[in-house]
């Protein structure tokens, strides 16, 4: 993802058969090829781990069919042990744009701070990291949406549970634990690839 675009705007406990939350385990961080990055995500229909290959440069037809890619942004106080991306192992959304945080009154959820990583130095609303929820279809164009936790989500402990399915996301919105997904104004090309493609990156 283009860091400067998405950061300027600114993706689990796997849902069970009833749409509830259960503990997830998986992978964290991007693995890099010379012309692309591969990162973990979750199939929003099943909650199963998948991997997305994102080329460094891709031309996207504005009329192409697309599917949503939700980035669920976890605050620094979250107790979730593993996330798809953290500020230190992915080159995007290291912090949230402070204007976005203040416009929704979420300064206590995502306090302002500065993080230094191998990717640079970033100031904004601090995050522990984020998870990606994508659909199970074959579309390679993904329109990015940010999902932010609310003060209620902090108070009732929702920030301590990994969110990995579309149904669980809708339920969290209905409960008031997260805001409705926020359009990041960004589309990327991200194709589902195998686990071995992720693991075998140079």
Is-contact 178 172, C-beta < 8 A? yes
For 77, the token pair is 């106080």
By DSSP bridging, strand 129-134 and strand 36-43 are parallel
Alpha helices in the chain (DSSP H): 3-9, 98-103, 151-155, 166-175, 195-199
State the pTM of this model.
0.86
Locate tokens 């339920």: which residue?
171
Phi, psi torsion values for 67, nearest 5 degrees = -135, 160
What is the chain's pLDDT, residue by residue, as a tens digit (202 residues)? 333 333 333 333 333 322 323 334 479 999 999 999 999 999 999 999 999 999 998 878 778 888 999 999 999 999 999 999 999 999 999 999 999 999 999 999 999 999 999 999 999 999 999 999 998 666 689 999 999 999 999 999 999 998 999 999 999 999 999 999 999 999 999 999 999 999 999 8
């Amino acid at each position: 993802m283009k860091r400067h675009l998405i950061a300027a705007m600114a993706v689990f406990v796997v849902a069970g058969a009833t749409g509830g939350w259960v503990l997830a385990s998986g992978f964290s961080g991007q693995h890099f090829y010379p012309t692309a990055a591969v990162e973990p995500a979750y199939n929003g229909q099943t909650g199963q781990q998948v991997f997305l290959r994102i080329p460094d440069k891709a031309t996207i037809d504005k009329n192409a069919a697309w599917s949503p890619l939700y980035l669920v942004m976890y605050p620094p106080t979250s107790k979730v042990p593993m996330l798809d991306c953290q500020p230190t192992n992915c080159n995007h959304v290291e912090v949230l744009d402070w204007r976005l945080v203040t416009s929704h009154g979420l300064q206590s959820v995502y306090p302002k701070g500065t993080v230094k990583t191998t990717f640079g130095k970033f100031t904004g609303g601090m995050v522990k990291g984020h998870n990606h929820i994508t659909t199970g279809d074959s579309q390679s164009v993904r329109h990015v949406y940010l999902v932010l936790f609310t003060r209620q989500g902090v108070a009732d402990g929702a920030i301590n549970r990994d969110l990995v399915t579309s149904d669980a996301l809708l339920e969290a919105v209905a409960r008031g634990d997260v805001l409705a997904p926020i359009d990041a104004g960004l589309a990327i090309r991200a194709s589902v690839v195998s686990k071995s493609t992720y693991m075998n990156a140079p």
